[in-house]
Amino acid sequence: MSRTLLSVERIDARHGLLQAVREVSLTVVEGETLALVGANGAGKTTLLRTIAGAHRPAGGRIVFDGEDVTHVPAHRRVRIGIALVPEGRKLFPELTVEENLRVAAAAGRPGCWTVDAVLEAFPLLQPLRRKRAASLSGGEQQATAIGRALMTNPRLLLLDEVSLGLAPVAVEGVYRSLATLVETGTTIVLVEQDLGRALGVASRVVCMLEGRLVLEGRAGELSREQVTEAYFGLEAGAR
């Protein structure tokens, strides 16, 4: 279980003149859960979107399962197994829950995740199947968004701020389903503001500060203080 699934090599990403990601390199091993932490504006979302192909990098290389995908468009990356649950959920508001899930059939990746499997994994969606996505609560929307990404049967699931804006109970629910995913062996990279949650679910943690990677280690081996220092850019945490 130590085959490299994703390797990001010296990626630069910009928003206009602003450099959001600076020469970031990291690898993700098949089956692991990597938490990406850092303050607002540290470049986490941009890095995730660059991996998914939604943002064009200014430099560097992205290799997925031995294949250079740096210039592969987003929809083709989904077809080889990279899925992103975007920040803000981005459901199609006028489509029903089931329709939202079924759009992902476009990925054309057969696997264990079907509409029924998703509804089984997220029981709260069961009665909402034919409801318009716009009418759902935040937690229900988040579950739909994760389920929708799972419908592409990804080998690598990228989760961006899945607990943002949710009530504590809903966050609890979302993380319980994540734990199930982790057990089934899905490779996950997740961006999370809440350090406790991140350390709780992840096997490895990387911390970003002003576009750079500043700390990397196994979740069990890093102390909360170490991560906090890196998070805020205090000297001890800088490399």
Partner 1 sequence: MSWVNAVIHGILLGGFYALLATGLSLMFGVMRIINLAHGSLALVGAYMTFLVVEHVHVSTYLGLLPVLAGALVVGYLLQRTMLERSLRAGELVPLLTTFGLLIAIANLLQYFFSPDVRGLSAGGIGTANWRVSGSLTIPWFDVLVLGIAIVVLGGLQLLLRYTQLGRELRATAADPDTVELLGVNARAVYGRAAAIAVATAALAGVFYAMRSNFDPSTGPTQLIYAFEAVVIGGIGSLWGTLVGGIVLGVAQTVGARIDVQYFALAGHLVFLAVLTFRAIRQSVGLRVLRRVEA
What is the contact surface with partner 1 in residues (CB under 8 A)? 52-54, 73-75, 78-79, 83-84, 86, 90, 92-95, 99-100, 102-109, 148-149, 151-152
Q: Round to whole Å and give the CA distance between 159 and 95.
A: 22
Distances from the Cα of 26 to the Cαs of 113, 201, 212, 213, in angstroms?
28, 19, 11, 9
Eight-state DSSP code of residue 220: T
Least distance from partner 1 to the Cβ atom of residue 94, Å: 6
Q: Identify which of residues 153 and 177 has a Cβ nearer to partner 1 in the complex.
A: 153
Least distance from partner 1 to the Cβ atom of residue 149, Å: 8
Least distance from partner 1 to the Cβ atom of residue 145, Å: 10
Q: Identify which of residues 55 and 197 has a Cβ nearer to partner 1 in the complex.
A: 55
SS3 per residue for 25-81: EEEEECCCEEEEEECCCCCHHHHHHHHHCCCCCCEEEEEECCEECCCCCHHHHHHCC
Least distance from partner 1 to the Cβ atom of residue 119, Å: 17
Give how far the C-alpha of residue 104 lies from the chain's centroid of Cα atoms, to the nearest Å.
17
36: nearest Cα among 213, 178, 232, 233: 213
Q: Identify which of residues 42 and 78 has a Cβ nearer to partner 1 in the complex.
A: 78
Q: How many Cβ atoms are within 10 Å of 38's Cβ, its own excluded?
A: 28
* Site of tokens 């970003």: 208
Q: Identify which of residues 133 and 227 has a Cβ nearer to partner 1 in the complex.
A: 133
Least distance from partner 1 to the Cβ atom of residue 219, Å: 27
Q: Identify which of residues 78 and 209 has a Cβ nearer to partner 1 in the complex.
A: 78
Q: Identify which of residues 51 and 209 has a Cβ nearer to partner 1 in the complex.
A: 51
Least distance from partner 1 to the Cβ atom of residue 70, Å: 16
Residue by residue, DSSP assigns 147-183 as: HHHHTT--SEEEEE-TTTT--HHHHHHHHHHHHHHHH
